[in-house]
Chain A
Amino acid sequence: MQTTTHFTESGPSIEVDAAPPSPIREATNDIAPFLAGLAPLSIALGAAMASTGMNPIVGLAGAALILAGQSQLAAIEMIAAGSGVGSIVLAVALINARFALYSASLVDWFRDEPKWRRFALAASLVDIQYVLCGPAYEQQSDARWRRRYYLTLSGLAIAMFLGGQAIGVVVGEFVPAGLGLDLAALLGFVGVLADKNNRAADTVAAVLAAVIVVVGAALPGGMGLPLAIVVGALVAKKLDGAS
């Protein structure tokens, strides 16, 4: 509970501000659509891992080290195909190039945190934090609140990501092909997009980025995605500022 004292002509008045919402509860509510989509995707990833004959302990360790489904799947397929270590690491780095863009937000979000803690927070940075933390942090500037919100998102996402894959390793062979499990994570994103798309600037950001990523599909190094995000965000900010 925070109190603020104002001095007016009739004397001092004290306003009692409402306590900020629990960061853990807020994060849990906000991430729910993603988790609903991440669960089937993780099971599909585990099933894909099992189908290559990879040692499941090693595979799950890889999932924990990379923490990114698309690049993990690429690495699994390339390992199974006998690709060289250098080309696998390069492919993973290119697919994950967007994380360099995401890390710029960490500078802004955790400006008052010690450097070691910001590096620790960066270890679990994925799409979900990038999408959810910005809007949430517009309302909350307290460093501890922000850290707890972020870590709750990280913990829930990682638990679902690794737990789902462990289940997928075990039950993968019983899951019918063509069930569309890998589509579910995408649908989770769609749910959030529809929820956020209330301002004209949000719509512009999403649509413009979507067009650019398709038009720039052939750009080298997988740079179409980060470029689309930057241009979409900058144009939306410009429009929002103008209005």
Chain B
Amino acid sequence: MTVLMTFILCGAATFALRSSMLVVGHLPVVQNFSQHMRFAGTAAVGAIVASSLFVSNGSATTGRASEVGAVIAALAAARLTGKTSATLGAGLVTFWILAALGL
């Protein structure tokens, strides 16, 4: 019961964040702000990828070579082929090879 209640509270807190700007969205500053966020999606992807690779427990790290190599290989495959399967395949295979090499 305590675990479920914890999840319910976590869900409520997350919903409050998800809907926070709807409450104050009528303010001109919020409307002006959202109109300047055209490239926010691309920025979010860059930040999420970099954060996953180079941030751990609130500190910047050099990242694991196997994961960085996998992302570079996936990026190259995506650029060259534009196919999801090739992107995932290149990334995962690179990761497995580098991890097997102890990197």
Which A residues lie at the B interface, using CB under 8 A? 32-33, 36-37, 54-55, 58, 61-62, 65-68, 71, 75, 79, 85, 88-89, 92-93, 96-108, 115, 118-119, 122-123, 125, 127, 130-135, 178-180, 183-184, 186-197, 201-202, 204-215, 217-218, 222, 224-225, 228-234, 236-237, 240
Contacts and interface: CB of A to CB of B under 8 A. Distances in A.
B46 A190 contact: no
A51 B60 CA distance: 29
Given A68-B14, A180-B95, A186-B49, A194 B7 contact: no
A97 B17 contact: yes
A213 B58 CA distance: 10
B30 A107 contact: yes
What is the interface of chain A mostly: helix, strand, loop, or mixed? helix
B75 A193 contact: yes
B101 interface: no
A125 B18 contact: yes
A191 B84 contact: yes
Given A103-B20, A233-B37, 6 more contacts: A36-B88, A101-B40, A103-B22, A213-B46, A215-B60, A229-B44
Given A122-B22, A191-B88, A237-B39, A127 B17 contact: no
A205 B50 CA distance: 13
Contacts of B67: 183, 186
Interface string B70-95: 11001100110010110110011001
Contacts of A103: 17-22
A80 to B, nearest CB: 10
Which 9 A-B pairs give the minimum distances between C-beta atoms? Answer: A65-B11, A206-B46, A232-B43, A62-B7, A194-B78, A107-B25, A210-B50, A236-B39, A209-B43
Contact of B99 (A180, A188, A192, A225): A180
Q: Which of A88, A107, A190 has the most CB of B within 10 A?
A: A190
A75 B10 contact: yes
A33 B84 CA distance: 5
A209 B50 contact: yes
A23 to B, nearest CB: 18
Contact of A127 (B5, B19, B31, B48): B48
Given A186-B52, A193-B75, A104 B46 contact: no
Given A93-B17, A97-B17, A134-B41, A104 B60 contact: no
A54 B31 CA distance: 43
B7 A61 contact: yes
Contact of B75 (A134, A194, A213): A194
B55 interface: yes
A18 to B, nearest CB: 24
A65 B8 contact: yes
